[in-house]
Amino acid sequence: MSAALKLWSRLSRWPGGAWLYGRLICLRAPYFATIAPRFVRLEPGRCEITLRDRRRVHNHIGTVHAIALCNLAELCAGVMSEATLPTGMRWIPKGMTVEYLAKAVGTMHAVATPQAPAVAFAEGREWPVQVDVRDAGGQAVFRAVATMWVSPRRA
């Protein structure tokens, strides 16, 4: 079990633990603090994060900014990868394709799942992660496929 998943298992049981987990992740990767993510669920093969509707993530027309949605997708895909891949593997984002499906208004809920099983590879390879983002009413507003480069950790 990865350190990220162990920490989630320990903290998420306590009041405020999910909030604290998000803060700790943002300390490790400070740029994600710009969206103030709220972790909802983390397990191998699935990560769920919400993005609250606040002015700091809005664009000039009052909807959630495209880059805030991209940050949400990258964070969700990365933490899911960390929680899912075998401990002898490492990952790094290689690319991401995105689709804007509707105006993103209100609180956003992102769910990241792998498109292929997580296994240990002898050599590096691409591993696609699907991220779907819905608004509070359940309408799909954004979709991304984050391509992770997965390879064995160096000894």
Give Cα separations from 152 to 66, 90, 146 (angstroms). Answer: 33, 6, 19
Nearest to 70 by CA among 105, 42, 108, 44: 108
Helix 66-84 × helix 3-11 angle, to 10°: 100
Structural domain of residue 72, as residue ranges? 3-152
Residues composing the chain: 155
Query: Which residue type does 27 have?
Result: L
The per-residue pLDDT for range 125-152, each reduced to its tens digit, is: 999 999 999 999 999 999 999 999 999 8
- Strand ranges, E, within the chain: 38-43, 46-51, 89-100, 108-114, 125-134, 140-152
Answer whether residue 15 shows pLDDT above 70. yes
Percent of the chain residues topping a pLDDT of 70: 99
Tell me how far apart the alpha carbons of residues 42 and 111 are, in angstroms, rounded to a whole number.
Answer: 10
SS3 130: strand
Confidence of residue 120 (pLDDT cuts 50, 70, 90): low
Give the chain's domain count. Answer: 1
- Residue 60 has φ and ψ, to the nearest 5°, of -70, -15
Average pLDDT, the chain: 93
Domain of 65: which CATH number? 3.10.129.10
Q: In what order do the strands lie in the sheet with 89-100?
A: 38-43, 46-51, 108-114, 125-134, 140-152, 89-100
CA distance readout (Å), 2 to 9, 35, 145: 11, 24, 23
Q: What is the pTM of this model?
A: 0.92
